[in-house]
Amino acid sequence: MVDRPGSFVAYDATTLRFIFARRFSFATYVTDAWDEAINRSVFHPALGREVEQALRAGAFAPIDCRRLAQLPDAWFYVNPQCLFKEFLSP
């Protein structure tokens, strides 16, 4: 949205250009939840086995993702397997 409270962009009627209303940095938003080695996708079982084998073959063993459940609004972007104990393997 433009010209609203909290907007990153505003319209300058004097110069007839859009300007930055406030600074933006991805560092504010990027967390480990963006790392698919931690917050892994869920696949059909057959494809999931294939992906798991490929990850292990490339030395990308799964990382425990339970700590992602503590991130703000984790429900919206963290794999449910990381949020609920009943989904996690022992």
Name the average pLDDT for the chain: 80
On the question of pLDDT at 18 being above 90, the answer is yes
On the question of pLDDT at 90 being above 60, the answer is no
Does 90 lie in the same domain as 50?
A: yes
- Structural domain harbouring 81: 31-90
Integer Cα distance of 78 and 64 in angstroms: 13
Q: Quote the number of domains for the chain.
A: 2
Does 35 lie in the same domain as 22?
A: no
Identity of residue 21:
A
Find all residues with CB under 8 Å of 57, minimum gap 6, and list them.
none
Q: What pLDDT, in 10s, does the model give residues 42-75?
A: 888 888 888 778 777 876 666 677 778 888 888 8
State the pTM of this model. 0.38
Percentage above 90 pLDDT, the chain: 10
